[in-house]
Amino acid sequence: MKHDGWIPTACYQCKAECAILARVEDGKVKEIRGNPSGRGKACVKGMAGVSLQYSPDRITRPLKRVGERGEGRFEPVSWDEALDIIAAKLNELRDKGEAHKLTASFFPHSITDPKWRFLNAYGGFINTALPHCDSAKIVAFIKTMGGVPNHHIPPAWFTVPPGGIMIMAGRHAFGGLDDAAVPLDILEARRRGARLVVLDPFFSEDAAKADWWIPVRPSGDTALFLGMINHIIAREMYDRDFVENWIREGDFDKLKEYVRDKTPAAMSVICDVPAADIRKLAEMCAEAPSVGVDSFKGIMLGQALDFGHAWTIFLAITGNIDNPGGQPLPDLTPLSPVEPVPAGPSLAEKGFHVTGPDREKFRNYSFIMEPTWYQAQAIKNGGLKVLINSEANPALTEMGQSEWCRAVTMKENGAYKLELLVSYEIMLSETSKYADLVLPDKTYFERWELLYMPWWYNFGQGVLLRQPVVEAPGECRHSNEVFIELGKRLCPEYFAFRDDVEFYDIQLAGLGLSVAKLQDMGGIWSPGTMGFRKYRDAGGFGTPSKKIHLYWEDLEEAGQAMPRPGLAPEYEADAEAYPFILVSYRSIFHQGTGQWSHNNPQLRDPVSGLYENPALINPIAAEKLGIKDGDRVTIASRTGEIEATAKLSQRIRPDCIALHHGFGSSIGRVAASGSGVSDNALIPDAGTTLDWQDLVGGESHVSTRVRIQS
Ligand code: SF4
């Protein structure tokens, strides 16, 4: 443990995990600022992390359920008893040949996270808590470029040359949930002469800084990009050199044929952007020295996979792959493997995916995320028996939440179908109410972690050390420490190292480093440069052909070999009964419930923070409905109904209603004292329109149709 002073570590008030310095005095965290060695930024949410650290709601002992699931009644137990219960159940499962019926749901801080190792060694299923909205982008990148995707990290805006174009499609970088360095990078790029274009039905903080805000119809982005692709090809403005040398033979011809009728005029009808504007943006992009596109949270885009596909095609034909200001391709830092490396079970063989009403489509599923709704189906059909949850809150923050709550309380012959539910928490959550065991986790100020995501924006392809800067209270243990202990009990051959620090030491040896050396270096290692056009030296891309794949033949049957321009199916359904589209957004004060911003007194302050979650309604729509600012209104979808306070705002299109995402917690003294409804109560469970889209996300967040009345 370091002593008082400014100590380098990593923030985890949101999933960007910025490099920060924590000022520690008398063994207590007092202040946070950005670490200058890691590009030096921290946002207000990160700085408010201190308030969370010392919350009286912290859990400091393991708890065991005493009532029924959902009642939230517990009694304290010892760690020995808690671990004995988990180990006994896991042994029983494995003895029956059902190890794959264990799933752990967690946010992966590193591709070498010990939790992944445990799951692979034991034979369980890995279910990351990666959000749906982002997954389409990941899948699109893998399928088109064949490489590790740029996961929830934006293009390297600090590399944009003068005249370059930055397109932010439903990404709220200025409103939070992004690397804290990003907003300044965007502003500095604009100062250099770059241009910012924001596509969003919601006038976000990003839109306020933009050169051009295009209030696209929700779910219309694919059509907009297809219209631009059509125009660029028709005018022969594409990057001929890149197309001839780096796109798989035959794919460009297929694209040309496919987009022949996707003219700006035709696409304008779908996306509600004037054809002239589609042409203008296309020409701006074709003439610019660089174009970068980013989209993530904030507004979840409908038809997410199609959009991810259209946007990667657009970048490819304009030659904006791995160039300054374009789409960076990450590179792997050579960490040492911890031998022996567990292989993990064959998930396709085990059949955990094969569930739901349209199960055949699961054969196309190529990513390791299982949405909450599918987790619920697996419980119901006996495919999931033990669930270990960490830094995720499926009972509140994901679509499918109500289905999940039903499934985890479902009984057969008097016993729960899900035989054991364990949740690691720093304070009680909606999810923990259903847990059989609640384990007291350490916060990001109290634990070791080697953060290793090769595509990290903040410091290039590198490694960041999270180190304990203060002691954890009571009996808190980090989930990684507990997984390592379970590994030593259940699969010791893969857990021969002493503890988490030794596990990281072995990996760091690949860089000639150790945890202690990394500490002395300020916690950050970076190769110093990202490099550009790396595919040239690498002999191509990671696809089988080594070229960019515009056409996805494996999705021919699903009708998605090329991006579909249509709006999300639900967008058109029940349009008469539910005339508005629900749009969710984010702000700098709030981040899903995994990080507890809803229980942070600084962020939920009624004056300087975000206290409640008003429904934003355009004044034109409000007037027609007789709704006034401040009225209590009822918003209903086919899935649910909520009450909220109306806030009239020109920031939202007249055909949309906007709610902030991530509200609705009833647990914790700050959350319970505030108000705020969960948009998820309105969003249909994924199963209602099961499609490949649902597996990779986004659709329902924007295509949920609602009605509103005072
Ligand atoms: S963006 Fe803000 S809250 Fe998120 S990790 Fe960075 S400093 Fe922390």
Q: State how far the Cα of 319 lies from the Cα of 495, in Å rounded to an integer.
A: 46
Q: Is 45 in the pocket of ligand 1 (CB under 6 A)?
A: yes
Residue 677: both structure tokens together: 């409804």
CA-20 nearest atom, ligand 1: 7
The CA 64 to ligand 1 mean position distance, Å, reads: 33
H/E element, 710: none
Q: Is 15 in the pocket of ligand 1 (CB under 6 A)?
A: no
| Range 335-352 average pLDDT | 79
Q: What pLDDT sits at residue 636?
A: 95
CA-43 nearest atom, ligand 1: 2
The CA 29 to ligand 1 mean position distance, Å, reads: 16
Tens of pLDDT along 121-147?
A: 998 876 655 555 566 777 788 889 886
The 3-state secondary structure of 147-208, one letter per residue? CCCCCCCCCCHHHCCCCCEEEEECCCCCCCCCCCCHHHHHHHHHHCCCEEEEECCECCHHHH
Q: Is 17 in the pocket of ligand 1 (CB under 6 A)?
A: yes
Question: What is the best residue among 14, 21, 296 to mutate for testing ligand 1's pocket, by most ligand atoms within 8 Å of CB?
Answer: 14
Q: What pLDDT sits at residue 439?
A: 98
| Range 517-522 average pLDDT | 93
Residue 593: both structure tokens together: 């419930």
Q: Is 652 in the pocket of ligand 1 (CB under 6 A)?
A: no
Q: State how far the Cα of 431 lies from the Cα of 516, in Å rounded to an integer.
A: 37
| Range 494-519 average pLDDT | 96
Q: pLDDT band at residue 569, thresholds of 50, 70 and 90? A: low
Hey, CA dihedral for 524, 527, 529, 533, is it positive or negative?
negative
Q: DSSP letter string over 527-548? A: -S---S-HHHHTTS-SSTTSSB
Q: pLDDT band at residue 203, thresholds of 50, 70 and 90? A: very high
Q: State how far the Cα of 695 lies from the Cα of 697, in Å rounded to an integer.
A: 6
Task: Flag whether pLDDT at 301 surpasses 80.
Answer: no
Q: Is 32 in the pocket of ligand 1 (CB under 6 A)?
A: no
The CA 109 to ligand 1 mean position distance, Å, reads: 14
The CA 526 to ligand 1 mean position distance, Å, reads: 19
The CA 515 to ligand 1 mean position distance, Å, reads: 23
Task: Flag whether pLDDT at 700 surpasses 50.
Answer: no
Give the pairing type, strands 195-199 and 165-169.
Answer: parallel
Q: What pLDDT sits at residue 271?
A: 93
Tell me: cis bond preceding 340? Omega within 30 of 0 counts: yes
Question: CB neighbours (10 Å) of residue 162?
Answer: 14
Q: What pLDDT sits at residue 503?
A: 97
Edge to edge, the sheet with strand 102-106 lists 74-76, 63-65, 437-440, 420-425, 386-390, 102-106, 125-128
Q: What pLDDT sits at residue 177?
A: 60
Q: Is 14 in the pocket of ligand 1 (CB under 6 A)?
A: yes
Cβ(259)–Cβ(249) below 8 Å: no
Tell me the C-alpha to C-alpha distance, in Å, between residue 85 and each of 79, 127, 177, 200, 440: 10, 22, 37, 49, 16
User: Residue length, the chain?
Assistant: 710
Tens of pLDDT along 210-236?
A: 999 999 988 889 999 999 999 999 999
The CA 100 to ligand 1 mean position distance, Å, reads: 35
- Atom 4 in ligand 1: which residue has the minimum CA distance? 14
The CA 595 to ligand 1 mean position distance, Å, reads: 11
Question: What is the best residue among 12, 15, 18 to mutate for testing ligand 1's pocket, by most ligand atoms within 8 Å of CB?
Answer: 18
Q: Is 677 in the pocket of ligand 1 (CB under 6 A)?
A: no
Tell me the C-alpha to C-alpha distance, in Å, between residue 4 and each of 21, 33, 274, 549, 628: 12, 15, 59, 53, 53
- Atom 8 in ligand 1: which residue has the minimum CA distance? 46
Tens of pLDDT along 43-96?
A: 888 898 898 899 899 999 999 999 999 999 999 999 999 999 999 999 999 999
Q: 405: closest CA among 414, 416, 394, 415?
A: 394
The CA 127 to ligand 1 mean position distance, Å, reads: 24
Q: 467: closest CA among 501, 506, 514?
A: 501
CA-16 nearest atom, ligand 1: 5
Residue listed under structure tokens 């035709």 = 266
Question: CB neighbours (10 Å) of residue 331?
Answer: 18
For residues 677 and 324, which has the higher predicted lDDT (pLDDT)?
324
Q: DSSP letter string over 268-336? A: HHHH---HHHHHHHHHHHHHSS-EEEE--SSSPPSSHHHHHHHHHHHHHHTT-BSSTTSB-------PP
The CA 586 to ligand 1 mean position distance, Å, reads: 14
The CA 19 to ligand 1 mean position distance, Å, reads: 9
Mean pLDDT of the chain: 86
Q: Is 133 in the pocket of ligand 1 (CB under 6 A)?
A: no
Q: Is 43 in the pocket of ligand 1 (CB under 6 A)?
A: yes
Q: State how far the Cα of 259 lies from the Cα of 553, in Å rounded to an integer.
A: 17
CA-13 nearest atom, ligand 1: 3
Give me the amino acid identity at 518: L
Q: What pLDDT sits at residue 703?
A: 65
Q: What pLDDT sits at residue 127?
A: 65
The CA 230 to ligand 1 mean position distance, Å, reads: 39
Residue 247: both structure tokens together: 């796109």
Give the pairing type, strands 705-709 and 632-636.
Answer: antiparallel
Hey, CA dihedral for 471, 476, 479, 482, is it positive or negative?
positive
- Atom 3 in ligand 1: which residue has the minimum CA distance? 46
Q: State how far the Cα of 164 lies from the Cα of 194, in Å rounded to an integer.
A: 5
Domains parsed from the chain with CATH numbers: 63-132+341-451+478-502 (3.40.50.740), 146-330+536-555 (3.40.228.10), 569-709 (2.40.40.20)
Side-chain half-sphere of 56: how many Cα atoms within 13 Å?
A: 3
Cβ(709)–Cβ(634) below 8 Å: yes
Backbone angles phi, psi at 416, to 5 degrees: -65, 140
CA-179 nearest atom, ligand 1: 1
Task: Flag whether pLDDT at 698 surpasses 50.
Answer: no
| Range 566-581 average pLDDT | 77
CA-44 nearest atom, ligand 1: 2
Say whether pTM exceeds 0.95. no
Q: pLDDT band at residue 358, thresholds of 50, 70 and 90? A: very low
Question: What is the best residue among 13, 186, 466 to mutate for testing ligand 1's pocket, by most ligand atoms within 8 Å of CB?
Answer: 13
Q: What pLDDT sits at residue 622?
A: 97
Q: Is 181 in the pocket of ligand 1 (CB under 6 A)?
A: no
Q: 216: closest CA among 231, 190, 197?
A: 197
Q: DSSP letter string over 627-645? A: --TT-EEEEE-SS-EEEEE
The 3-state secondary structure of 110-162, one letter per residue? ECCCHHHHHHHHHCCEEEECCCHHHHHHHHHHHHHHCCCCCCCCCCCHHHCCC
Cβ(277)–Cβ(214) below 8 Å: yes
Q: State how far the Cα of 396 lies from the Cα of 415, in Å rounded to an integer.
A: 24
- Atom 6 in ligand 1: which residue has the minimum CA distance? 18
| Range 314-343 average pLDDT | 89
Edge to edge, the sheet with strand 463-466 lists 449-451, 463-466, 524-525
Q: What pLDDT sits at residue 64?
A: 98
Q: State how far the Cα of 579 lies from the Cα of 574, in Å rounded to an integer.
A: 8
The CA 315 to ligand 1 mean position distance, Å, reads: 28
Task: Flag whether pLDDT at 362 surpasses 50.
Answer: no
The CA 348 to ligand 1 mean position distance, Å, reads: 36
Q: Is 169 in the pocket of ligand 1 (CB under 6 A)?
A: no
Q: Is 466 in the pocket of ligand 1 (CB under 6 A)?
A: no
The CA 273 to ligand 1 mean position distance, Å, reads: 34
Cβ(69)–Cβ(465) below 8 Å: no
Cβ(596)–Cβ(603) below 8 Å: no
The CA 184 to ligand 1 mean position distance, Å, reads: 14
The CA 367 to ligand 1 mean position distance, Å, reads: 26
The CA 180 to ligand 1 mean position distance, Å, reads: 6
DSSP secondary structure code for residue 698 in this structure: -
